[in-house]
Structure 1
Amino acid sequence: MGRGLPLADYLALKGKELGTSDWILVDQARIDQFAETTGDHQFIHVNPELAKQTPFGTTIAHGYLTLSLLSAMAYGVLPGIEGTKMGVNYGLNSVRFLAPVKSGKRVRGHFAMKDVSERSPGVVQTTVEVKVEIEGEDKPALAAEWVTLAYV
């Protein structure tokens, strides 16, 4: 860590679009790994034969799998703050799962700086709006407000 924008420049990003991530493939192997890690083996995620009988016609990613990809999406898009010692997730103000991500689809995140402030000396709180787009689909997979803290 430690590289990034001077604090004043970072604070000036409030209300600005930050960019769009690269695409990430959500294939059945990734879905199965997530199911194994979390213990969530619901058929809609891991059983292609049974999932064919649902309105989706195939398996879909766990909503929390899509949400967990935010960090990977953010690495190439979100700027850091010069001199940052560490950053941590603080939570989510909101998250809505708007459309299922079907196995084999690609997703990417669109990020905007909703709010940023020094909550105390050396601690910067950032609220980022993110929408996760599904390639070839009109409706996003999810929309969230993601809150992080940077210790500078």
Structure 2
Amino acid sequence: MLADDLRGKPPTTTDWFTLDAARVQAFADATEDWQMIHLDDARAAAETPFGGAVAHGFLTLSMLSAMSYQVVGTLPGVASSVNYGFDRIRFISPVRVGKRIRGVFTVASVDEPEGALDVHWDVIIEIEDQDRPALAANWITRFFLED
């Protein structure tokens, strides 16, 4: 029943998340990626085609974790879940520091291995007030079912 419910789930759009300078700095510190393109707005404006500092692509991708809680919530009959990986990730547009992003999640398919469900999500991360998204991905979540 749960697999059929997921297969029929309409696309879900999350709340907006701000990729402000503090979040970008924290991500830079966690990953030791301190490129000026992410942390020095004036220099990034002068030396890159982006017009200022941009968030790390992997920070944008990592926000899928926070977004997914809004999409999945608590599913009946599920004991736990894990990130099972990606079949595809494409970084389409950079996200300027200070911009807001949100996810649009669509169930692409559901596999049913023994004791679990593998949900393949087609995900687009939109950038507020921009036509082109930040990224598109096919992300797999494995849900372990209760006995």
Query: What TM-score does the superposition give when structure 1 sets the normalisation length?
Result: 0.89
The percent of aligned pairs where both chains have the same amino acid is 44
Question: Does residue 89 of the first structure (1) align with residue 83 of the second (2)?
Answer: yes
- Give, in angstroms, the shift of residue 102 of structure 1: 0.2
Quote the residue 1:3 is aligned against: none
Q: How does 1:25-104 map to 2 (within 5 A)?
A: 25-53=18-46, 54-104=48-98
Q: Which runs of 5 or more structure 1 residues have no equivalent in the other structure?
A: 1-7
Residues 18-58 of structure 1 deviation map (CA, whole Å, 9 limit, x = unaligned): 31000000111111110000001111001122111121111
Asked if the contact 1:113/1:127 (under 8 Å) is kept, the reply is yes
Higher helix share: 2
Q: Which runs of 5 or more structure 2 residues have no equivalent in the other structure?
A: none
Return the letter of the residue paired with 1:18: P
Return the letter of the residue paired with 1:40: D
Return the letter of the residue paired with 2:49: P
Asked if the contact 2:7/2:107 (under 8 Å) is kept, the reply is yes
Quote the residue 2:99 is aligned against: 105
Give the Cα separation in 2 of the matches to 1:66 and 1:149.
21
Give the Cα separation in 1 of the matches to 2:57 and 2:42.
20
Return the letter of the residue paired with 2:35: Q
Asked if the contact 1:11/1:117 (under 8 Å) is kept, the reply is no
Return the letter of the residue paired with 2:116: V
Give the Cα separation in 1 of the matches to 2:88 and 2:25.
26
Give the CA RMSD over aligned residues: 1.3
- Equivalent residue pairs, number: 144
